Each structure stands twice: as C-alpha cells, then as structure tokens.
C-alpha cells in the first residue's frame, strides 16, 4: 500500500506558525472557521431551504438585510461569544460592538467582521465572502479605544470566499496562506503557502458606471490602463474581486463618487483586512491619498475609498493622483 498523502489543516498551520500562546489564538481561529463552515453549508443549500431574499429588516447602514446575512452574522457571534479569549465582536450588521466583561489576561482579542460581503450577489448565485480582522486589546484605555485601532496593528486578517470551491486566506503577519475546504472531511486544507501577488497584472476592476462622478485623476488613470491594453473584470463582490486581484494581479478600485463622497467600502472590516493581506503578499493598498493601514478610525462603520493591487499598478496610480 502506498503512503497516505499528508495534509495541513488551517488549525495545524496556525499551531506551527504562531509562537505566542498558539493554543489561545488557535481556539479563536477555530471559532471563525467553524462559523464559516456553517455559512458555507447554508449557502450551498440556499436554493433548497428558502434563505434567499430579504429578511424584512434594514441593517444599521439602512440596507435591506438578507436572510443569509442574518444567519451568517448569528453564526459568527454564536461561535465566538463563548470563547473567553474574545474581548469584543464588531460586525457590519450590528450598530454597536458586542463587548464582554473579561479580564485583560483572558479577553485579549477583538474580532471585526463582515459576515457576508457582496449581499447584492446572494440572490443570483454569485460568489460572496466573509471577511475578518483581529486586533489585540490594548492594555490601557477603554475597550472602545481598543476597537478603533489603526490597521497596522492588526494581528491577523483573512477571508473566506464561497465560490465554486470554498477558500480561506489568512495572514498573521508572516505571509499569506490559502486553504480549500475539503467537503469530504469538513476541513480547510492548505493549498498555497506564502502567496505572492504578481508584480503586475492584466486587469483593472471597478464599477465604471460611476466614472463621471469620480474625483480628478481616477478617470485618466483607468483610461491610460485601457490604452495600455488592460482588460476589465468586476464581480461586485469585494472578496471575489480581491481574490482574483491577489492571484492574477492588477488593481481593484472603489473611489469616492457623487453619492458616496467618502467611498463605499468600510475601513475596519473590508479595507483594513484586505490591505493587510495585500501588503503581506507584496501588493499595496491606498485610500487615494495614503496607506489604508495608517488611517486612524474614528468610528466602527466608517467608509473609505479603497484602491488595492499589484505594485506596478499601484505605483502608476499614485503617480496619476499626484499629477491630478
């Protein structure tokens, strides 16, 4: 009989990669992976179990909550709230953070997440994702202050993409690693370690319907990419658009526009985690004037313009904005 192939699960990978209190952090991550497996199962059976469509309520952003959004949010909260390493949970779907009265020694982590990103794509069977960002609670100040740390202080970030296969991508600051959910054993199995974003790519990705109301610089930048032979790709699900950019290179842009003068995407649970991953993979992320990871947040649901991608396209972007 031949030798059985070895597999590395995300749990095993974290144990191997993290020196400090790997047990504590691993326990936290297992809550996240369990929740995303529950969400993935729900999505896979969505057409069968009547979870498509609106829930009937609006979320704190004034958007219609989808039934799957509600389920995803609940799944993450349920899987994390009883882990005593969690000090606070901040969700796109909830106006206020959920804070736990735990000592500094045990309740060390703050998890910020977008339970189901790309909600306009849920009903039409197009890829959606879950995004998360982890901060360490500060040993000083209030828990509220700990929740509003800059992106440079993230200790981990990741996302799960529910596509033709389900993939988890994470970083703890020592590279970016990718896992595929093996449905036969219910585990995320390592498929790529130390992913690197290509230095230059073939695509730009943006909602070009807004071009007329973008600030100066953006339109010229995209026009020069068209002239240079770039192709366009836009799914409208941030995780999916980002994942393609990570693998193939190029640039993703969500600039400010007339109706969204501060941009659309959220700093804490969309831009920051993806910027952390992009930088760890050799790419860059900007809000149009500076580095995403250095923005000091003032509130948990704040929005930001978000431009992320390969080094070549990002340097060209900075030049175009400097010249505008």
Least Å distance between CB 148 and ligand FDP? Answer: 20
Query: Can you read off the two tokens belonging to residue 182?
Result: 């093996």
Asked whether position 275 contacts ligand FDP by CB under 6 A, the answer is: no
Site string for ligand FDP, 198-227 (x = CB under 6 A): ---------x--------------------
Is residue 59 part of the contact set for ligand FDP (CB under 6 A)? no
Task: Rule CB under 6 A: choose which of 238, 275, 300, 308 binds ligand FDP.
Answer: 238
Report which of 132, 118, 128 is spatially closest to residue 171, judged by C-alpha positions: 132
Q: Find the binder of ligand FDP among 11, 236, 311, 318 (CB under 6 A).
A: 236
- The span of 114-122, 156-164, 213-221, 276-284 binding ligand FDP (CB under 6 A) equals 114-122
Nearer to ligand FDP, 65 or 146 (CB): 65
Q: Which residues lie below 8 Å from residue 274, measured CB to CB, with a gap of 6+?
A: 131, 157, 159, 238, 242, 285, 306, 308
Among 118, 256, 273, 297, contact with ligand FDP (rule: CB under 6 A): 118
Using a 10 angstrom Cβ sphere, with 0-12 exposed, 13-18 middle and 19 or more buried, the burial of residue 206 is buried
Query: Which residue among 59, 65, 119, 133 contacts ligand FDP (CB under 6 A)?
Result: 119
Report d(CA 176, CA 266) in Å as an integer. 22
Closest CA to 292 of 129, 110, 113, 152: 152
Pairing of strands 203-205, 231-232: parallel
Q: Dig out the tokens for 141 from the structure.
A: 């100040």
Contacts for 134 with CB less than 8 Å, ≥ 6 apart: 28, 109, 110, 111, 112, 154, 155, 156, 157
> What track of x and - describes contact with ligand FDP for positions 121 through 160 (by CB under 6 A)?
x---------------------------------------
Q: Should residue 117 be labelled a site residue for ligand FDP when binding is judged by CB under 6 A?
A: yes
- Judged by the rule CB under 6 A, the positions of this chain that interact with ligand FDP are 117-121, 207, 236-238, 241, 264-265, 270
């Amino acid at each position: 009989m031949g030798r059985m192939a070895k597999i590395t699960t995300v749990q095993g990978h974290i144990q191997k990669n993290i020196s400090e209190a790997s047990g504590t952090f691993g326990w936290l991550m297992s809550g996240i992976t369990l929740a995303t497996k529950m969400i993935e199962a729900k999505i896979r059976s969505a057409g069968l179990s009547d979870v498509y469509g609106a829930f009937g309520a609006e979320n704190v952003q004034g958007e219609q909550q989808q039934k799957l959004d509600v389920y995803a949010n609940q799944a993450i909260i349920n899987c994390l709230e009883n882990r005593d390493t969690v000090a606070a949970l901040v969700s796109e779907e909830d106006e206020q953070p959920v804070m736990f009265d735990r000592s500094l020694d045990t309740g060390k982590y703050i998890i910020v997440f977008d339970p189901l990103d790309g909600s306009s794509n849920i009903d039409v069977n197009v890829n959606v994702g879950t995004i998360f960002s982890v901060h360490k609670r500060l040993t000083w100040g209030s828990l509220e202050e700990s929740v509003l740390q800059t992106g440079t202080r993230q200790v981990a970030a990741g996302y799960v993409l529910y596509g033709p296969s389900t993939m988890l991508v994470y970083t703890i600051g020592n590279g970016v690693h990718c896992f595929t959910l093996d449905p036969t054993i219910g585990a995320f199995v390592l498929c790529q370690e130390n992913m690197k974003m290509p230095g230059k790519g073939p695509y730009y990705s943006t909602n070009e319907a807004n071009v007329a109301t973008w600030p100066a610089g953006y339109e010229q930048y995209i026009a020069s990419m068209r002239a240079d032979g770039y192709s366009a790709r836009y799914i409208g699900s941030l995780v999916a658009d980002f994942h393609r950019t990570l693998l193939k290179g190029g640039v993703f842009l969500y600039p400010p526009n007339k109706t969204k003068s501060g941009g659309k995407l959220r700093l804490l649970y969309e831009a920051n985690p993806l910027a952390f991953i992009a930088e760890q993979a050799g790419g860059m992320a900007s809000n149009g004037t500076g580095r995403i990871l250095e923005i000091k947040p003032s509130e948990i649901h704040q929005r930001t313009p978000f431009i992320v991608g390969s080094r070549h396209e990002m340097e060209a972007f900075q030049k175009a904005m400097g010249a505008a």
